[in-house]
Chain A
Amino acid sequence: MIEISLTLNGKKITDTVSDDSLLIDFLRDHRCYSVKRGCETSNCGLCTVLMDDMPVLSCSLLTARANGHTIYTLEGLTEEASEFVGFIADQGADQCGFCNPGFVMNTIALLRTNPDPTDDEIKSFLAGNLCRCSGYEGQLRGIRNFLNSREKNKEA
């Protein structure tokens, strides 16, 4: 067992974990239920969290390696997410909604590093988030509509 200390959604947490504990399980044990397993092959992006502002797959990261780092899950970023999730919902992009938390987390990471992405940049950055319902066009339209509305608000 290893003692670890990290900052989760703004709060410092100290805990003891097994040497092979994965961050996804640690986060769910700390009531971050937005973080989910979708594939078990490090491919679907559903378990995306931000570690030191960088999007990573929590299913593939040892909790021990996250020791000393800052982790954010969707639970800690609801205000930032609320700016654009409505635009995605308006497109009916989320049919079952299972992939949504990973999409939202990675969209936050995209917009923080590239506030005005092209459609190709959006597709490229979000390529690691799989959705089996919708074919991605709805998510793309939703993000584009959000960016356009933000641009209009700036002009106004």
Chain B
Amino acid sequence: MVTIDKYVRAKSLEEAYELNVAKGSQIIGGMLWIKMGNNKIKTAIDLCDLGLDKIEEDDEQFSIGAMVSLRDIELNESLNRYTNNAIRNSVKDIVGVQFRNLATVGGSIWGRFGFSDVLTVFLALDSYVELYKGGIIPLSEFANMKRDKDILVRIIVKKTPVKITYSSMRNQRTDFPVITCATSVIDDTYRTVIGARPNKAILITDENRLLADVNESSVKAFSEYVAASSPTGSNLRGSSEYRTHLIKVLTERNIKEMEGIS
């Protein structure tokens, strides 16, 4: 159970930051994951009045406010056209519509949770995070940083030409994933992101150009390379061996779907 001594709707990012640096303070995002824990929060900081619930778009990029809900990115036509519905596919099985109306993109990315479908799909895109103090940095760098007291303001997705496909394995619809897999091609380089290993999502790029020529055997070789490069573990949802097997299967399927190989 979570207890909160004081709830504050921040009037500016500066106010939110000043409150957040104090011990016992926490930015609550959608509050879904925080509520699952046993925490005593001295000051709960709500960013809901800062206009961060919008998806903005220009010729160069999408700018997704930290308070945009998972349901918003699921329904955003432009974002899903750009990603060939990979964004929609990544969130559609996260609990239910009511949950996704509350859960925020900022909360999912900030948490860098092992089980995160959201982190997985954004890592496969040309994505950045905008931090209040830390500025704009690649999401891949942010994913490996320790949590600090900075504030995640926006997620930026550059409109770099991309092909992307998303898939996940769940023991049951709406459950946490056993494995998540996003595969993309950016600047002629294939990349696959594997999440729910069960640890945090890991980005594997085709550095050895295994997919220089895409065919049945090169797809298999790359899938095996991805599996060998993605450490897995066991938990109640699946064993390490099962996860490694799934990584090969989903990576192979993703590339075949993306490249139209039957």
Contact = CB atoms under 8 A, between A and B. Distances in A.
A42 B176 CA distance: 13
Contacts of A129: 96
B97 A64 contact: no
A139 interface: no
A40 B9 CA distance: 25
Given A65-B46, A127-B173, A128-B174, A20 B3 contact: yes
A62 B101 contact: no
Contacts of B149: none
B36 A54 contact: no
B7 interface: yes
B71 to A, nearest CB: 8
A124 B7 contact: no
A114 to B, nearest CB: 11
A20 B99 contact: no
B93 A127 contact: yes
A123 B31 CA distance: 26
| A19, A41, A42, A43: residue with the most chain B Cβ atoms closer than 10 Å | A42
Nearest to B96: A128
A128 B46 contact: no
B15 to A, nearest CB: 16
28 contacts: A2-B7, A19-B6, A19-B7, A20-B2, A20-B3, A20-B7, A41-B36, A42-B32, A43-B99, A48-B98, A56-B101, A60-B31, A60-B32, A60-B99, A60-B102, A61-B102, A62-B4, A62-B7, A62-B31, A64-B7, A64-B9, A64-B46, A125-B97, A127-B93, A127-B96, A127-B173, A127-B174, A128-B97
